[in-house]
Amino acid sequence: MRALRLFGVIAVLLATGAARAENRFAFVVGNDAYRNVTQLQKAVNDSRAVGRSLQQLGFRVTQGENLAWRDFVEKFSIFENSIQPGDTAFLFYSGHGVEIDGANYLIPVDAPRVAPEQQSLLKDVSISTDNLIQRLKARGTRTQIIVLDACRENPFRQAGGRSVGGARGLAGASLPGGVFMIYSAGVGEVALDRLSDSDANPNSVFTRSFLPLLENPDNSLIAVAKQTRAAVKSLAGSIGQTQSPAYYDEIDGEIFLAKGSTSSSLPPPVVLPPPTTDTQAAIRSDLPPSPTPASPDRDFIFPDSDRIRLTRDMLAGLSAAQLRIARNEIFARRGRYFRDPVLAQYFSRFNWYRPYAWDVPLNAVEQANVALIGSFER
């Protein structure tokens, strides 16, 4: 009876979660360690700060640092395939970028130093922002937010001669509906990596201004863009430079990311309430108790499921709820986040649970154990 009661609680919570108006996914990249062109100092720090912020705003974050071309396209492909129609996608990139023939390209860390006559080669070994936007659009995204802190000096510029791409900055954007884009500088401007060589702030001039405004629940995206522009202009002006972030808005209504809702005609997402006292009692009644210092193995239904293959006899007699926990504790031990509030609440009791990602790697033993437990749950 306890197992059936808990199963009913889980089913209700999962059904409520399925009614959410959207899921939020973010692809966040920072490139500092360029092999053949000028290295940067703040891009990786920027991506880490943005990733942390977006996680707090409810995004599943796919993070990348110092990505070569192949790493970038493979990681983006995984991110892209996680998106379903109606989702919100947030793309943040900090690093080098150039404008070529009116289009913008993000530069991976292994891009070669090219000569002026090799412009087509640079296109082939770089990442087209237009292509990224169209691919996400094809997945049915409701909203795309593209943030490019990539308007730095063209790293391929040659003194006294013709260069590959524009001399500085990125090209203006022509966007499909449902896309909001903000550049760290205006067209033809250079974004400052730092205010001076003694600038101790870990983030670029743009990102240090942008993040606190994005996290303010009273700010719509447009308000974030306008206030960021004012803050960056002021900082750049303090050292005699000009930097005025540009934004392009093709979204109907206003988006308030920190509130988790919109003011458009679309319904806001459903917010799951915290489990009630009755729900908590149901969880406790059918699952292992919280650990005590004297019995650390009580953290797990199967303490060795990361090293020892489970058997069918070991699973016999477990309730549906216990099987579910046994399967998910394998992922939890690896640091996986859980959207299900029952699972999130259960694993958050344990000191060993340190979530850091939505997708975590499993070894061969763990994969076999997940498959076996799953066969019992069906």
261-276 pLDDT per residue, tens: 343 333 333 333 333 4
CA atoms within 13 A on the CB side of 162: 7
- CATH 3.40.50.1460 spans which residues of the chain? 21-262
Task: Output the six-digit token pair for 211.
Answer: 């993040």
DSSP class of residue 308 equals: S
Q: Which residues of 310-339 are buried (b: 16+ CB within 10 A; e: fewer)?
A: beeebbeebeebbbbbbbbbbbbbbebbbe
Mean pLDDT of the 140-151 span: 89
What is the fold of 2-16+274-377? Methane Monooxygenase Hydroxylase; Chain G, domain 1 (1.20.58)
277-297 pLDDT per residue, tens: 443 444 444 454 443 333 344
Whole-angstrom distance, CA of residue 268 vs CA of residue 248: 23
Whole-angstrom distance, CA of residue 162 vs CA of residue 154: 12
Residue in this structure with the two tokens 């000009």, named with its chain if needed? 242
CB atoms under 10 Å from CB of 177, counted, come to 9
What is the fold of 21-262? Rossmann fold (3.40.50)
- CATH 1.20.58.1690 spans which residues of the chain? 2-16+274-377
The pLDDT value given to residue 46: 94
Mean pLDDT of the 126-155 span: 85
pTM across the whole model: 0.62
Bridging pattern class, strands 261-262 and 255-256: antiparallel
The pLDDT value given to residue 364: 86
56-80 pLDDT per residue, tens: 899 999 999 999 999 999 999 999 9
Whole-angstrom distance, CA of residue 328 vs CA of residue 367: 12
The pLDDT value given to residue 47: 94
Looking at per-residue pLDDT, the higher value among 201 and 162 belongs to: 201
